[in-house]
Structure 1
Amino acid sequence: MGLVEIASELIGERVALRYRIGDRDGRPLYTDAVGELRPDGPGAVLVETRRGPVRVDRAAVVAVRAVPPAPPRRAPLAAVTRLEALCADAWPAVVDRRLGAWRLRAADGFTGRANAGLAIGDPGMPVPAALDAVRAFAGEHGIRPRVQVPAGSPWDKAVAAEGWGLDVAHERGAEVAVLVAPLQGTHDPRVELPERPSDGWWRLGLGDLPTAAQRHVLDPGGDPRTAFGQIAGPDGTVIGCVRATVVEDHLHMSVLEVAPAARRQGLATALLASAAEWGSGHGARWAVLQVALHNTGAMALYDRLGYVEHHQYRYLVPPTG
Structure 2
Amino acid sequence: MTLPDAQKLYAVIEGTWPPSAKQAVGPWIVRLDDSGSSRVSAATAEQTPQAGDIAAAEDAMREAFQSPLFMIREGDDALDAMLAARGYAIKDPVNMYAAEVSAIATQRPPPVTTFEVWPPLTVQTDIWAAGGIGPGRIAVMDRARPPKTALLGRLDDRPAGTAYVGIAGDCAMIHALEVAGAHRRKGLATYLTRAAAFWAQSKGAAYLTLVTTQENAAANTLYASLGMSLVGQYHYRILPEE
Shorter-chain TM-score above 0.5: yes
Matched, 1:88 2:9: no
Q: Aligned to 1:219, what secondary structure does the other structure show?
A: helix
Work out the number of aligned pairs and report it: 233
Q: CA 1:294 to 1:166, structure 2 compared with 1: closer, same or farther past 3 Å?
A: farther
Q: Which residue in the other structure is 2:98 paired with?
A: 180
Higher Rg = 1
Q: Which residue in the other structure is 1:98 paired with?
A: 24
TM-score scaled by length of structure 2: 0.85
Query: Could you tell me whether the CA contact under 8 Å between 1:92 and 1:216 is conserved in 2?
Result: no
Q: Aligned to 2:81, what secondary structure does the other structure show?
A: helix
Report the identity percentage: 25
Q: Which residue in the other structure is 1:288 paired with?
A: 209
Q: Which residue in the other structure is 2:231 paired with?
A: 310
RMSD: 2.7
Q: CA 1:268 to 1:108, structure 2 compared with 1: closer, same or farther past 3 Å?
A: same
Q: Which residue in the other structure is 2:40 paired with?
A: 114
Q: Which residue in the other structure is 2:170 paired with?
A: 249
Q: Output the CA distance in 2 between the equivalents of 1:131 and 1:82.
A: 25
Q: Output the CA distance in 2 between the equivalents of 1:215 and 1:254.
A: 11
- Alpha-carbon deviation of 1:87? 0.9
Which of 184, 202, 218 is equivalent to 2:141? 218
- Alpha-carbon deviation of 1:258? 1.2
- Alpha-carbon deviation of 1:233? 4.4
Matched, 1:198 2:121: yes
Q: Which residue in the other structure is 2:152 paired with?
A: 230
- Alpha-carbon deviation of 1:252? 0.6
- Alpha-carbon deviation of 1:298? 0.9
Q: Output the CA distance in 2 between the equivalents of 1:89 and 1:129.
A: 30
Which of 50, 64, 75 is equivalent to 1:141? 64
Q: For structure 1, which runs of at least 5 residues remain unmatched after alignment?
A: 1-74
Q: CA 1:165 to 1:245, structure 2 compared with 1: closer, same or farther past 3 Å?
A: farther
Q: Which residue in the other structure is 1:18 paired with?
A: none
Q: Aligned to 1:193, what secondary structure does the other structure show?
A: strand
Deviates more, 1:258-267 or 1:284-293: 258-267
Amino acid of the structure 2 residue aligned with 1:265: K
Amino acid of the structure 2 residue aligned with 1:158: L
Q: CA 1:254 to 1:164, structure 2 compared with 1: closer, same or farther past 3 Å?
A: farther
Q: Output the CA distance in 2 between the equivalents of 1:114 and 1:209.
A: 14
Q: Output the CA distance in 1 between the equivalents of 2:166 and 2:231.
A: 19
- Alpha-carbon deviation of 1:287? 1.3
TM-score scaled by length of structure 1: 0.65
Amino acid of the structure 1 residue aligned with 2:168: V
Query: Could you tell me whether the CA contact under 8 Å between 1:191 and 1:270 is conserved in 2?
Result: yes
- Alpha-carbon deviation of 1:294? 1.0
The C-alpha deviation readout for 1:105-159, integer Å capped at 9, x for no partner, is 122151211111123x316xx43344222201211111110110114x1x23234
Q: CA 1:82 to 1:105, structure 2 compared with 1: closer, same or farther past 3 Å?
A: same
Q: CA 1:99 to 1:130, structure 2 compared with 1: closer, same or farther past 3 Å?
A: same
Larger RCO: 1 or 2 (CA < 8 Å, sep 6+): 2
Q: Output the CA distance in 1 between the equivalents of 2:37 and 2:55.
A: 22
Q: Output the CA distance in 1 between the equivalents of 2:163 and 2:27.
A: 30
Q: Aligned to 1:297, what secondary structure does the other structure show?
A: helix
Query: Could you tell me whether the CA contact under 8 Å between 2:115 and 2:152 is conserved in 1?
Result: yes
